[in-house]
Chain A
Amino acid sequence: MKFSVSRDNFFKALQKVINVIPSKSTVDILYNVLITIKNNKLSIIATDLEITQISWTECEAMEEGDITVPGKLLLDIIRELPNVNISFSADSNHKILIKSDHGEYKLSGEDKTEFPSVPLVDSDQQVEIENGLLKTMIEKTIFACSTDHFRPALTGVLCQIMENEYRMVSTDGHRLVKVINKNFSGNGISRDLIIPTKALNFVARNLPDSGNQKIILSENHILFELPDTKIFSRIINEPYPDYDRVIPAEFSKELVIDRAEFISSVKRVSLFSNPITSQVKIVLSQNSMNISAQDIDFGGEANENVPCKYEFENIDIAYNANYLIDILRHIDEEKVKLTVNDADGPALIFPENNENADLNMVMLIMPVRIN
């Protein structure tokens, strides 16, 4: 195998897939990327068995073929080169020679037989989503996913394709996000699937700002075809909890507050909360919110008053400040609405003008029990 390629093109293609390589794996070959030369096209594949990403670029092929190369090392070499032409060749013993104007680099590759094959996503199930919206939906959901591998369903985002809407839902059991895109047609497809957060992260990173995204679904995989790259991901085949059941439909108390003021206030006060629980207490009274925190172990305390619109009976609720800040950070509007029934139940937080927006969004947070 032998080809020559411009440094910039090679680097761009490699950089796209490099993060798929697992940081720790018992399967050594996964630290490698698979490079294939065919029809003057250079393609690079990385996989962690759950996600597979392919990128490609033009090259000048002298001899077609394929080889696997230690990914991080290859990236490090290419990164440090200026934009020159690089010549890359591999012999039958998998010895690789990279040449540039600056010198030569020799490294060992491995045969491609050990490298996992790319999943077949051969299906006519296809849907399209507007790129900008998809990106927003991903960003607004993945932060709330769980990292607990004992609850595999919660480590991904639930994507629900329906007749006239597309939903994404995430939760870690303490907070929950539901985003609905009503500007959508399911093309007769109606399906629920859970996509791992890592895959969605890569998708969001590679999504162009405009245009439409084509998504292809097979039984066990999902394929995103993006510009100069494709991302395949395994679907998490686990039952997702019945989230709609836990989102209360009615509330007895409602609050409207300036988002920026609310968030900076919580941030300041939480500096004085117990670092393990990050608990902040919120007392709502007539048009006023008092936020306070206390760290008994270290003796610090803080409290602030924030004006708001609230006309119901007083209530004391406590939250984990980090969850609260996370949620508020992911709302774009100037004012947020918070609805709640009691101090032991969930609160819903949404943008004040939720109904008119392209995306309908609900965020749920569970409190911390006081007394």
Chain B
Amino acid sequence: MIDNSRVILHMDMDAFFASVEQRDNPDYRGKPVIVGADPQGGKGRGVVSTCSYEARSFGVHSAMPIRTAYKLCPQGIYVWPHGKLYSQVSKQVFEILYEFTDQVEPLSIDEAFMDVTGSIRLFGEGEKIAQLIKDRIKEKLNLTASVGMAPNKYLAKIASDLEKPDGLVVVDPEKISEFLHPLPISRLWGAGKQTQKVLHKMGIETIGELAAFPEDILKKKLGKMGDHFYKLAHGIDNREVHAGQGVKSVSNEHTFSTDIRDGEKLRKRLSALCDKVGYRLRKHKLNGKTIHLKLRYSDFSTITRNKTVQSPTNATEIIYKTITKLFEKNYIKGRTVRLIGVGVSGFEKQTGQQLSIFDSADNKGKQLDALEDEIRLKFGTKAINRADSLGASIRDDFDR
């Protein structure tokens, strides 16, 4: 069933971290600002987190290795990320969004879906609300956002990206195909490089061509995803805006300042990351069932492996134990590692949680977690570390 009566907005801050830096440092304005790892004169490691539009014209983009960025734009202003500041600003942005509706689904620190169908009576048409949000952000925070408006999430997300920065694109429910069909298939939600390859082989370059493709062949070629893409190509996406369940996973990654193959050092780093993830989970009162390990080798080949634990957890010890097992099973000994990451997802509400015999008996782990959290809350996150992560923190490593 196609329901085009909803009014969904997708709000995306423009070059968020870089814009905040430019706002607070007048010297940076009009110049290429690159937020991310220290480039160390082209020898730096880690990646670009965000860069300003000025930097983008040099070909720099987010997630690019910092040394590549440095090669492209040596005159750029390289800034170490100010995480705390960004999350403060993000909070202010979301406060503005909540002025218009409580149906806000945060996607990340600078991005959200909103269902404003119910707010139209209060504030006027969707397009007007979108403009009001942009104006408020500009006026109150001196930052720009791009907003897409459409009858569903998928279209709204595409729309917000089309006229960045400071864009406002409205998809008319009557003209979905006109909007969607000329776009390349790389705009399909969920179509990664592999899927794109398969589609290209089938002679499909644009979403319009995909929409014209017989549904049954598509399903045969792409399996379950065939159905998904078929729907998207016709602009159908019935996902609701899930207000108030923003966080879907908590993860931390670490890029080493030099590639590492020493199993002991990798384990130490994993311990530190598990500690961090556990702390964040407990801070947000989240319990996750699935533990993820991410490994990126020197050649940039990346694996992610996960394991579901018996009952949802936020205990550092359980996360670490599971991660170590995943690591031992999946790390190819002797290969040099560039980046390593730990994540927890699959959150369950605290109520209805099956309690476990040995967890409840293991009060030591819990007490330790609680004590650590308390110390961090009082003296900052770096005030205490686990002994088995000792020697893992080197300042020039890049954490995110």
Residues of chain A touching chain B, judged by Cβ–Cβ distance below 8 Å, are 146, 148, 150, 171-176, 241, 245-246, 274, 277, 279, 318, 320, 344-346, 364, 366-371
Contact partners of A245 in chain B: CB under 8 A: 361
State in angstroms the CA–CA spacing of A368 and B360 once bound together.
12
Let me know if B352 and A366 touch, CB within 8 A.
no
- Can you name 14 A-B pairs with beta carbons within 8 Å? A150-B322, A150-B325, A174-B311, A174-B354, A174-B356, A245-B361, A246-B357, A246-B361, A318-B352, A344-B355, A346-B360, A364-B357, A366-B357, A368-B352
Let me know if A171 and B357 touch, CB within 8 A.
yes
Let me know if A246 and B350 touch, CB within 8 A.
no
Let me know if A277 and B355 touch, CB within 8 A.
no
Let me know if B351 and A371 touch, CB within 8 A.
yes
Let me know if B322 and A368 touch, CB within 8 A.
no
Let me know if B310 and A366 touch, CB within 8 A.
no
Chain B: which residue is nearest A247 at the CB level? B357
Let me know if B355 and A368 touch, CB within 8 A.
yes
B307 sits at the interface (CB 8 A): yes
Residues of chain B touching chain A, judged by Cβ–Cβ distance below 8 Å, are 307, 310-311, 322, 325, 350-361
Closest A-B pairs by Cβ, 8 of them: A366-B355, A246-B361, A369-B353, A173-B356, A246-B357, A173-B310, A368-B354, A277-B352
Chain B: which residue is nearest A150 at the CB level? B325
State in angstroms the CA–CA spacing of A49 and B369 once bound together.
41
Contact partners of A150 in chain B: CB under 8 A: 307, 322, 325
Let me know if B357 and A368 touch, CB within 8 A.
no
The minimal Cβ–Cβ distance linking B270 to chain A, given in whole angstroms, is: 16
Let me know if B360 and A366 touch, CB within 8 A.
yes
Let me know if B310 and A369 touch, CB within 8 A.
no
Let me know if B352 and A370 touch, CB within 8 A.
yes
Given contacts A150-B307, A174-B310, whether A241 and B358 have CB atoms under 8 Å apart is yes
Let me know if A148 and B355 touch, CB within 8 A.
no
State in angstroms the CA–CA spacing of A175 and B354 once bound together.
11
Please report the number of residue pairs spanning A and B whose Cβ atoms sit closer than 8 angstroms.
58
Let me know if A246 and B358 touch, CB within 8 A.
yes
State in angstroms the CA–CA spacing of A171 and B358 once bound together.
10
State in angstroms the CA–CA spacing of A158 and B114 once bound together.
54
Given contacts A366-B357, A369-B350, A371-B351, 13 further A-B contacts (CB under 8 A): A148-B310, A173-B310, A173-B356, A173-B358, A174-B310, A174-B311, A174-B355, A246-B357, A318-B352, A366-B354, A366-B355, A366-B360, A369-B355
Chain B: which residue is nearest A151 at the CB level? B310
Contact partners of B355 in chain A: CB under 8 A: 174, 344, 366-369
Contact partners of B325 in chain A: CB under 8 A: 150
Contact partners of B352 in chain A: CB under 8 A: 274, 277, 279, 318, 368-370
Contact partners of A279 in chain B: CB under 8 A: 352
The minimal Cβ–Cβ distance linking B88 to chain A, given in whole angstroms, is: 33
Contact partners of A174 in chain B: CB under 8 A: 310-311, 354-357
Contact partners of A274 in chain B: CB under 8 A: 352
State in angstroms the CA–CA spacing of A241 and B350 once bound together.
26
Given contacts A148-B310, A150-B307, whether A176 and B351 have CB atoms under 8 Å apart is no
The minimal Cβ–Cβ distance linking A23 to chain B, given in whole angstroms, is: 22
State in angstroms the CA–CA spacing of A318 and B360 once bound together.
16
Residue among A318, A320, A346, A369 making CB contact with B357, cutoff 8 Å: A346
The minimal Cβ–Cβ distance linking A274 to chain B, given in whole angstroms, is: 8
State in angstroms the CA–CA spacing of A286 and B290 once bound together.
42
Contact partners of B360 in chain A: CB under 8 A: 246, 344-346, 366
A175, A246, A370: most-surrounded residue (chain B CB, <10 A): A246
Given contacts A173-B358, A241-B358, whether A368 and B353 have CB atoms under 8 Å apart is yes
State in angstroms the CA–CA spacing of A241 and B357 once bound together.
10
The minimal Cβ–Cβ distance linking B347 to chain A, given in whole angstroms, is: 14
State in angstroms the CA–CA spacing of A367 and B354 once bound together.
6
Contact partners of B357 in chain A: CB under 8 A: 171, 173-176, 246, 346, 364, 366
Contact partners of A246 in chain B: CB under 8 A: 357-358, 360-361
State in angstroms the CA–CA spacing of A175 and B310 once bound together.
12
The minimal Cβ–Cβ distance linking B291 to chain A, given in whole angstroms, is: 10
State in angstroms the CA–CA spacing of A368 and B322 once bound together.
23
Chain B: which residue is nearest A243 at the CB level? B357
State in angstroms the CA–CA spacing of A318 and B350 once bound together.
14
The minimal Cβ–Cβ distance linking B346 to chain A, given in whole angstroms, is: 12
Contact partners of A346 in chain B: CB under 8 A: 357, 360
Chain A: which residue is nearest B355 at the CB level? A366
State in angstroms the CA–CA spacing of A69 and B360 once bound together.
51
State in angstroms the CA–CA spacing of A246 and B357 once bound together.
7
The minimal Cβ–Cβ distance linking B364 to chain A, given in whole angstroms, is: 12
Contact partners of A277 in chain B: CB under 8 A: 352, 354
Chain A: which residue is nearest B326 at the CB level? A150
State in angstroms the CA–CA spacing of A369 and B354 once bound together.
6
Let me know if A320 and B354 touch, CB within 8 A.
yes
Chain B: which residue is nearest A366 at the CB level? B355
Contact partners of A370 in chain B: CB under 8 A: 351-352
Contact partners of B361 in chain A: CB under 8 A: 245-246
The minimal Cβ–Cβ distance linking A59 to chain B, given in whole angstroms, is: 46
The minimal Cβ–Cβ distance linking B119 to chain A, given in whole angstroms, is: 27
Chain B: which residue is nearest A276 at the CB level? B352
A245, A277, A344, A366: most-surrounded residue (chain B CB, <10 A): A366
A148, A176, A369: most-surrounded residue (chain B CB, <10 A): A369
Residue among B322, B350, B356 making CB contact with A366, cutoff 8 Å: B356
State in angstroms the CA–CA spacing of A150 and B311 once bound together.
14
State in angstroms the CA–CA spacing of A245 and B360 once bound together.
11
Chain A: which residue is nearest B361 at the CB level? A246
Chain A: which residue is nearest B350 at the CB level? A369
Chain A: which residue is nearest B322 at the CB level? A150
Contact partners of B354 in chain A: CB under 8 A: 174, 277, 320, 366, 368-369
Contact partners of B350 in chain A: CB under 8 A: 369
Chain B: which residue is nearest A146 at the CB level? B310
Contact partners of A344 in chain B: CB under 8 A: 355, 360
